[in-house]
Amino acid sequence: MDFPDIITSLPKAIIPFKGITGYISQAEGHQVLFMEIEPIGEVAPHSHSAQWGIVIEGEMILNIGGEARTYRKGDHYYIPEGVVHSAVFNEKTFVIDFFNEKARYKAEER
């Protein structure tokens, strides 16, 4: 699976995790990111504003507040604001994430 041009033509996000590519759809008070994640292993524990997401393709193990669960195609998740979470990616995975924060990620210069 690859995102279509309508997604990949969006601004590319600056993401501090190697192996993750994100495309930003910016709104007044939130961001939507279309993310393509390589099998990078673990994303370290962190927290931020509220996040809702859905797995489009692939699989991830998401630990939210100490509870780990495997998410696959069609599964969705919610991470409340400030809750520490981490993830493990053992295969290429595509997700769409909604962040309740206008500037969660900055866009790369074009």
* 82-106 pLDDT tens trace: 999 999 999 999 999 999 988 899 9
Structure pTM?
0.92
Instruction: Evaluate whether 31 touches 100 at the Cβ level (below 8 Å).
Output: no
Separation of CA 29 from chain center = 17
**In this predicted structure, what is the pLDDT of residue 109?**
83
Q: Residue 14, CB half-sphere, CA atoms under 13 Å: how many?
A: 7
Q: How confident is the model at residue 17 (pLDDT cuts 50, 70, 90)?
A: confident
Does the structural domain 10-99 have CATH classification 2.60.120.10? yes
User: Higher model confidence: residue 96 or residue 16?
Assistant: 96
Candidates 21, 90, 23, 22; CA nearest to 58 is 90
pLDDT in tens, 61-79: 999 999 999 999 999 999 9
Could you tell me the residue ranges of all domains in the chain?
10-99
Q: Which two tokens stand for residue 104?
A: 């969660």
**Count of CB atoms within 10 A of residue 89's CB?**
22
